[in-house]
Structure 1
Amino acid sequence: MAGRGDGTGDSGDGAPDEQFDWIYGAPRGGSDPEPTRRIPVQRRPGANPPPPRTPSQTPPQAPPRLPPAQQYGGAPPPTGRRPAPAATPAPRAPRRSRWSRPRTYVRLVLLALVLWLVFLVTVPLVAWNRVDKVDFEPSADRPAEQPGTTYLLVGSDSRAGLSPEERKELHTGDAASELTDTILLLHTGDGPTTLVSIPRDSPLDIPGFGVSKVNSAYAKGGTPLLVQTLENATGLRVDQYVEIGFGGLVGVVDAVGGIEICPKQRIKDKDSGLNVKKGCQEVDGATALAYSRARKFSPISDLARVQQQREVIAAVGDKVLSPWSVLNPFRWWGLNSAVPDFFRFGDSTGPVDAGKWALAMTKVKKSCTVPLARADTTWDGPRAEQLFGRIAEDRTGKITDDLCTATGLAP
C-alpha cells in the first residue's frame, strides 16, 4: 500500500515518505522545530518581487479576541471584578426662552430709556426750528450791560393765526389789532427771581410820538420801539424778548391739561367772554385767556388784570414743571407743538435761552406791579426808580415790600 504519510510508509526507495509531513507533522524525534510553519509561496519564474512594505502599509494587528463568554457579557473579566454599569447620561436641561432671562428685560429697559431721552430732546428742537424770530433791539442808545438777565415778556393781542371762528370763540374782536395786553419784566440773577407787571395803560414817553399809553408803542414802531420806551423809562437793559399771542396761551394751557385759577369773586365779563364763579377751579385754555384779559368787572380795572395775568402764568409754570408733563408723551408733544404757532423770540435767543426763561418763570420769588402813584396807572417816580435801580444792580434781595406790591400802590 502506498505510504499514508504518517512517517511509516515506504516510498519505494526505503526512505520515509515525507511528502505529507506538512499535514501529519514530522515523525517523532524529527528535526523540524516548526512542523506547522507556513510554506513560502513559490513565485513563477520571471515574476517581479513585491515591493517592500512601508510601516504605513503594514496591516494593523487585530486585537486579541476575548473568550465568547466575555464577549457577550456572560462572564466577569479576568480580574474577577464586575464591570461598572454604564453611566446614564444626565438629561439635558430644557433650553430657556429669551424672555425668561433677566438680562433681556434689563436691555429692554435701557433701550426704552434711551429712546425716551431722544424723544424728549428731539421734540423741542424740532419745534424750535419753526419758531419765528424778532429783531427787538433798538438802534438808539441803550443802557450798558448789567448783571443778571432781564427778559421782556409781551402778551400781544395779535389775532394772526386765528380763524374768524376762533376769534369769535375767544372774544378777541378786531383782527387788525396790534396792541400789547400784557407787558412783564422778568429778572434772574444772584438774588430772588423778580417779575414786574407794567400796566398797558401806563402813560410813558414814546420816542418820536410823545407821551402815550405804553401798549401803543408796539403798534407805532413794533418791538424795537416798545423796548426802547421801556428801557428809557426803567433804566433796565432788555437782554431777551418773548412774545406770545392769544392762541399761544390757549394752546399751552390745553396742552398741560388745564390750570387752576382762584378768583376772589364771581366774574362775568362780556368783553372777554369770562363767566366764572368765586373760588378755585380748573379751567381750559379759552377760559384762562378770558381770565387774563378781563378787567371791567373791577373798579381798579387794569391793576386787577395784571394780577390775574401773573396768576395764570404761575399756574401754567406749575403744570409745565410737573413730572406728568414730561412722562406723558402726548402732553409733551402738545406743549412743544403750541410754541411755534403763537410764540416769537428775540433773534439772539437760542433754545437754551428759551429754556432758561421758561424755567425762570416757574421760580418767581417776588411778583409785583410797577410802583404807581394813582390807580390810573401813573407811575410813582421815586419808588419806581428805587425798584428798577436794585434790579439793574442785581440786588433783588434788597427790594422791600413797599416797593413791590400786588397792585403797585403804596401799602
Structure 2
Amino acid sequence: MPERDPNPRDEAGYGWLYGPDDDATQVVGASSSYPPGGPGAYSAPPPQGPPNEPHQRPSDLPPMQYPDAAPPSQGGGGRGAGTRGGGRRWLRPGRIITLLLVAWLVFLIAVPVWAWGNIEKVDASPGGERPADQPGTTYLLVGSDSREGLTKEQRKELATGDAEGRRTDTIMMMHVGSGPTTLVSIPRDSIVPIPGHGRTKINAAFAYGGPKLLVETLENTTGVRIDDYVEIGFGGFVNMVDAVGGVEICPKKAIKDKDAGLKLAKGCQEVDGATALGYARSRHTYATQDLQRVQSQREVLGAIAGAVKSPSTFLNPFRYAGVVSSATGSLRIGGNVGPLSLGRFAWNLSGAMGGSGHNCTVPIADASVRWDKERALQLFEYIKTDKTDKITKAVCTKDGLPAS
C-alpha cells in the first residue's frame, strides 16, 4: 500500500488534533484514546463503570431528565418530610371548616344522647277502654310542684314550701298535626268526674292516681286520646330559665305575692328562673285567680321555648349543654315517648305561642271555672279530627271566657 503523503500540519506535531481529514474537525473527547505528546496534550480520565464494560460516548447516553419541581430537601424523616406542600393540605381553610362542622354536629347529637339517660320514665297509659287512635299527636304537659332535687335553701328561696309528693300546678294539652299547633290550658280547679272519686277538682286526679288517672280523667272528659306524657318539676323549670339567660315577661299590673315569693313592677322585664317560677304560680293578686295564672304559665313556657330555639343556644356550647341537662334533670315522660317525639314537642311548643298556632284556655261558662260544655266539645272535636285550622276565637280564647 503506498504511503500517505504526510500532512503538512503534522510537522508541528498537531496532526492528532486536526485528524487525517483536511476538511473535517473532530470533537475533542469523542475518541476513547488520545495520542501522546505535544505541548498542551490532554490526558483523559479513566472511564467509569464496571471492568470490561465498553466506555460509552456522550452521544450514546440517554438525554437528561429534569424534574418539573424543585428536588425534595435532604432533611430527615419519612415520606412526607421533604414535601412542604403535603403537610399544608390538611391545614387548608376548607378542610378546617369541614372538620369543625363535623365535630360540632357530633357534639349537638352527643349531649342529648347522654342526657336521655337521666330522664325518668313513667307508665302513663291507663288500662281499660280508651279513645281510638286519632290523627296527629296530642301531648299532655304537666307542671308538678315536686320539690325533688331542690335543697332546703332552694325551697326557701323559691317559696315552694316543704310539701312532699306531687301535685299539678299546670295541666296543658298540646296537639300537633296537619293544622296549626294548638295549646289548651286546663285550669287545675276545673270540676270534672274522676274515675272512682266522683266529681272534684281535676288536679286531685294526679294526687289520687298519678299520671295514669290524670290521663284517664282527661280522655273520658274530652274524648281526646293522649298520646304522649311530659312532666317537669319546679327545679327543672327554674334551671331552664337560668340556662337560657332569663326570659321576658310582661305583667299587666304590679304584682306582690308573698306566697309565691314574688314582687314585680308592671310592664315587660327580663327575669331569672326563680322570678319566672313565682310569676307562673301566682294567682292571689288576680280577681280571676286560676284563669290568669294559666295565661301566665303559657307566657313563660312560650318565652322559654323561644329562647331555647334561638341560634345562640346552638352556637354556645355551654348554654346548649346547660339547657339540655336542666331540661332532662327534672323531667318525667311516658314510657312510650321517644327522643324524636320529645324533640317535636319542644320544637312545637313555641309555635303555639308565637302566633303560628292557637293558645287558649278550655272554654268555661264563668269565673267559677265551670266548663262551657257546648264550646268545649266543639274545641275538642277539632282536635280529635285534626282540624285545628277551623278553630276560631269563638271556642279558643286566652281566659276561656266567651269572646266579647
TM-score, with length taken from structure 1: 0.77
Who is 2:358 aligned against?
A: 366
Deviation per CA, 1:325-344: give whole Å up to 9, x if none: 00100011101111332011
For residue 181 of structure 1, give the secondary structure of its aligned residue in structure 2.
strand
Who is 2:390 aligned against?
A: 398
Who is 2:402 aligned against?
A: 410
Taking a change above 3 Å as real, the CA distance of residues 188 and 90 of structure 1, as seen in their structure-2 partners, is closer
Deviation per CA, 1:93-148: give whole Å up to 9, x if none: 99857786685332222111111111000100110012100100111211111111
Taking a change above 3 Å as real, the CA distance of residues 168 and 96 of structure 1, as seen in their structure-2 partners, is same
Taking a change above 3 Å as real, the CA distance of residues 91 and 280 of structure 1, as seen in their structure-2 partners, is same
For residue 329 of structure 2, give the secondary structure of its aligned residue in structure 1.
helix
Taking a change above 3 Å as real, the CA distance of residues 65 and 220 of structure 1, as seen in their structure-2 partners, is farther
Deviation per CA, 1:165-213: give whole Å up to 9, x if none: 1111111113314210000000011111000000000011110001111
Deviation per CA, 1:205-246: give whole Å up to 9, x if none: 110001111011111011100001111111100000000000
Who is 1:376 aligned against?
A: 368
**2:156 counterpart of 1:168:** yes
Q: Distance in 2 between matches of 1:68 and 1:107?
A: 71
Deviation per CA, 1:139-168: give whole Å up to 9, x if none: 121111111110000000111221111111
> In the alignment, is the contact (CA less than 8 A) between 1:261 and 1:280 conserved in 2?
yes
Deviation per CA, 1:261-312: give whole Å up to 9, x if none: 1111111111101111111111111111111001111000001100000000
Q: Distance in 1 between matches of 2:328 and 2:363?
A: 34
Who is 2:25 aligned against?
A: none
Q: Distance in 1 between matches of 2:202 and 2:125?
A: 17
Query: How many residues are matched?
Result: 335
Bigger mean CA deviation after superposition, 101-110 or 138-147 = 101-110
Q: CA deviation at 1:69?
A: 5.2
Taking only the aligned residue pairs, the percentage that are identical comes to: 53
Taking a change above 3 Å as real, the CA distance of residues 352 and 63 of structure 1, as seen in their structure-2 partners, is farther
Which of 244, 255, 263 does residue 251 from structure 2 map onto? 263
Which of 19, 23, 34 does residue 64 from structure 1 map onto? 34
**2:380 counterpart of 1:388:** yes
Taking a change above 3 Å as real, the CA distance of residues 62 and 261 of structure 1, as seen in their structure-2 partners, is same
For residue 321 of structure 2, give the secondary structure of its aligned residue in structure 1.
helix
Deviation per CA, 1:23-58: give whole Å up to 9, x if none: xxxxxxxxxxxxxxxxxxxxxxxxxxxxxxxxxxxx
**2:308 counterpart of 1:316:** no
Q: Distance in 1 between matches of 2:289 and 2:126?
A: 31
For residue 351 of structure 2, give the secondary structure of its aligned residue in structure 1.
coil
Letter paired with 1:164: K
Q: Distance in 1 between matches of 2:329 and 2:305?
A: 19
Who is 2:329 aligned against?
A: 341
Q: Distance in 2 between matches of 1:398 and 1:101?
A: 59
Who is 2:61 aligned against?
A: none
> In the alignment, is the contact (CA less than 8 A) between 1:307 and 1:406 conserved in 2?
yes
Who is 2:176 aligned against?
A: 188
Letter paired with 1:241: Y
**2:227 counterpart of 1:235:** no
Q: Distance in 1 between matches of 2:86 and 2:68?
A: 23
Taking a change above 3 Å as real, the CA distance of residues 242 and 68 of structure 1, as seen in their structure-2 partners, is farther
Q: How does 1:206-355 map to 2 (within 5 A)?
A: 206-355=194-343
Letter paired with 1:401: K
Letter paired with 1:358: A
Letter paired with 2:197: F
Taking a change above 3 Å as real, the CA distance of residues 63 and 328 of structure 1, as seen in their structure-2 partners, is farther
> In the alignment, is the contact (CA less than 8 A) between 1:127 and 1:339 conserved in 2?
no
TM-score, with length taken from structure 2: 0.79
When Rg is computed on C-alpha atoms for both structures, the one with the higher figure is: 1
Please list every run of 5 or more consecutive structure 2 residues that lacks an aligned counterpart in the other structure. Answer: 1-30, 44-66, 74-82
Q: Distance in 2 between matches of 1:135 and 1:298?
A: 36
Q: Distance in 2 between matches of 1:184 and 1:69?
A: 115
> In the alignment, is the contact (CA less than 8 A) between 2:249 and 2:300 conserved in 1?
yes
Who is 2:58 aligned against?
A: none
